[in-house]
Amino acid sequence: MRPKLTHTPTPPANPDRAQQLTKRQYVRFAFYQIDPAWRRLPADQQIAHKHELMQTIKQFNRRMLLRPYSLMGTRADAEILLWQIAESPLPFQDLAAAIARTELGGYLKLTYSYFSQTKRSIYQIRPGHEDESEEERLVIDPSEAKYLFVYPFIKTRDWYQRSLLTRQGMMDEHVEVGRKYPSVRLNTTYSFGLDDYEFMLAFETDEPSDFLDLVQDLRETEASRYTLQDTPLFTCINMRLEEALDAIGGAPIAQPIEPGQLSESWVEVGTIADFAPNTARTVYLEGKMIGVFHVNDQFYAINNRCSHARGPLHEGAIDPAECSVVCPWHYGKFDLRTGQAIDGLVRRPVETYRVEIRDEILYVGTPVLEAIR
Ligand code: FES
């Protein structure tokens, strides 16, 4: 049952608070293509290579949020995308080097690589749409959508010479068109000075035709006149890593999964002796950032992204007496045992995850509905 809301007075909102408090994330889109020579290797080698690469990539689940996608059948020059999100760029380099050292890595060519960072937009949300928080842009929280459309983006220099007010007007029109397609979710990140482009755009949706219609509609907006480059464009299909590897060819390794079948997935958090009381840590599990809390000699794991605007719950204030945490961005409060929203402006709960201690090591796990990935 939903706990009773107590409504402690909420401290006044500070629009810059989230940006001041929260580390911006680094984002990498790495596109790989397989050398056809690999497809002519004996089946036992192909299987061994796939398992080695799988294990190598999965070891990085503790250091970054990592989503695999397949581009087989959608693009000629890339077959796998690894979408990576981390608090520092260093894990990206470590992962790239680890992949290069594997047997299969010797046959993989990195055909495209994009590097960017999250940032709050300089444009304002129009009155009446305050439910959409620009603060959400500080953190990426991928959905389970089946398709991801990715492209780099550059504006003309003329765009930056227009006044902020003029650009705001054009962005308002742009946003209004986007609002007609609620099934399409946009993740914008920034590349100025980091890579050759200015922005990286990644649209998630289950309906590719909605994305097509959206892009066509956007061509008629005033802001479109200021687009210098918005290619190459990648159509990526969300799937499990073993399925994405099977899609490139060779002997298959993915086990068939019946619709509705559950499978377990666990990630190691660390030794319990090193986990100080009334503190929190984060790990990544199946493409989600999980906040793990040590409170009153118990361990609790919840989705680390606040259900209001993705605030980082592991950075919030822990109350052992209440077994709760207060989101650092706008002070929404959650029960760590149930994930329920119990105070402040939050209304929706956050997911809870299972915790287990094996040989003094703490693990977080979940039953995952594999059939949807
Ligand atoms: S992000 Fe607003 S209360 Fe958490």
Kindly give the distance from the C-alpha atom of residue 69 to the centroid of ligand 1, in angstroms, as a whole number. 30
- Positive or negative torsion for Cα 294, 295, 298, 300: negative
Average pLDDT over residues 182-187: 94
Structure tokens at 142: 């991928």
Identify the pLDDT of residue 366. 78
Exposure string over 285-294, b if 16+ CB within 10 A, otherwise e:
bbbbbbbbbb
CB 312 within 8 A of CB 22: yes
Kindly give the distance from the C-alpha atom of residue 345 to the centroid of ligand 1, in angstroms, as a whole number. 8
Q: Average pLDDT over the chain, rounded to whole?
A: 89
Which atom of ligand 1 is nearest the CA belonging to 313? 4
Q: Read off the pLDDT band of 303 (50, 70, 90).
A: very high
CB 172 within 8 A of CB 121: no
Q: Evaluate: CB of 342 within 6 angstroms of ligand 1.
A: no
Q: Read off the pLDDT band of 102 (50, 70, 90).
A: very high
Which atom of ligand 1 is nearest the CA belonging to 331? 3
Residue 174 exposure: Cα atoms within 13 Å on the Cβ side = 18
Q: Evaluate: CB of 239 within 6 angstroms of ligand 1.
A: no
This prediction has a pTM of: 0.80
CATH number of 21-247: 3.30.70.1030
- 36-94 per-position pLDDT tens digit: 999 999 999 999 999 999 999 988 887 899 999 999 999 999 999 999 999 899 999 99
Kindly give the distance from the C-alpha atom of residue 178 to the centroid of ligand 1, in angstroms, as a whole number. 24
| Pocket-testing residue among 327, 333, 334, 342, ligand 1, by greatest number of atoms within 8 A of Cβ | 327
Identify the pLDDT of residue 258. 66
Q: Evaluate: CB of 308 within 6 angstroms of ligand 1.
A: yes
Q: Evaluate: CB of 240 within 6 angstroms of ligand 1.
A: no
Q: With a cut of 60, say whether residue 110 has pLDDT above it.
A: yes
Kindly give the distance from the C-alpha atom of residue 313 to the centroid of ligand 1, in angstroms, as a whole number. 9
Which atom of ligand 1 is nearest the CA belonging to 309? 1
Average pLDDT over residues 159-178: 95
Superfamily holding 259-372: Rieske [2Fe-2S] iron-sulphur domain (2.102.10.10)
Kindly give the distance from the C-alpha atom of residue 342 to the centroid of ligand 1, in angstroms, as a whole number. 13
CB 330 within 8 A of CB 133: no
Identify the pLDDT of residue 370. 37
Distance from C-alpha of 327 to C-alpha of 282, rounded to nearest angstrom: 15
Q: With a cut of 50, say whether residue 301 has pLDDT above it.
A: yes
Identify the pLDDT of residue 108. 98
Identify the pLDDT of residue 128. 55
Q: Read off the pLDDT band of 368 (50, 70, 90).
A: very low
Q: Evaluate: CB of 327 within 6 angstroms of ligand 1.
A: yes
Tell me which residue has its CA closest to atom 2 in ligand 1. 330
| Pocket-testing residue among 16, 329, 350, ligand 1, by greatest number of atoms within 8 A of Cβ | 329
Q: Indicate the domain borders of the chain.
A: 21-247, 259-372
- 200-225 per-position pLDDT tens digit: 999 999 999 999 999 999 999 999 99
Kindly give the distance from the C-alpha atom of residue 328 to the centroid of ligand 1, in angstroms, as a whole number. 7
Identify the pLDDT of residue 285. 83
Q: Evaluate: CB of 346 within 6 angstroms of ligand 1.
A: yes
Average pLDDT over residues 232-238: 97
Structure tokens at 14: 């500070």
Identify the pLDDT of residue 288. 83
Q: With a cut of 80, say whether residue 270 has pLDDT above it.
A: yes
Average pLDDT over residues 98-119: 97
SS (H, E, C) the chain: CCCCCCCCCCCCCCCCHHHHHCCCCEEEEEEEEECHHHHHCCHHHHHHHHHHHHHHHHHHHHCCEEEEEECCCCCCCCCEEEEEEECCCHHHHHHHHHHHHCCHHHHEEEEEEEEEECCCCCCCCCCCCCCCCHHHHHCCCCCCCCEEEEEEEEECHHHHHCCHHHHHHHHHHHHHHHCCCCCCEEEEEECCCCCCCCEEEEEEECCHHHHHHHHHHHCCCHHHHHEEECCCCEEEEECCHHHHHHHCCCCCCCCCCCCCCEEEEEEEEEEHHHCCCCEEEEEEECCEEEEEEEECCEEEEEECECCCCCCEHHHCEEECCCCEEECCCCCCEEECCCCCEEECCCCCCCCEEEEEEECCEEEEEEEEEHHHC
Q: With a cut of 70, say whether residue 144 has pLDDT above it.
A: yes
Comparing 15-19, 49-53, 85-89, 277-281, which segment has the lowest mean pLDDT? 15-19
Kindly give the distance from the C-alpha atom of residue 55 to the centroid of ligand 1, in angstroms, as a whole number. 35
Q: With a cut of 70, say whether residue 314 has pLDDT above it.
A: yes
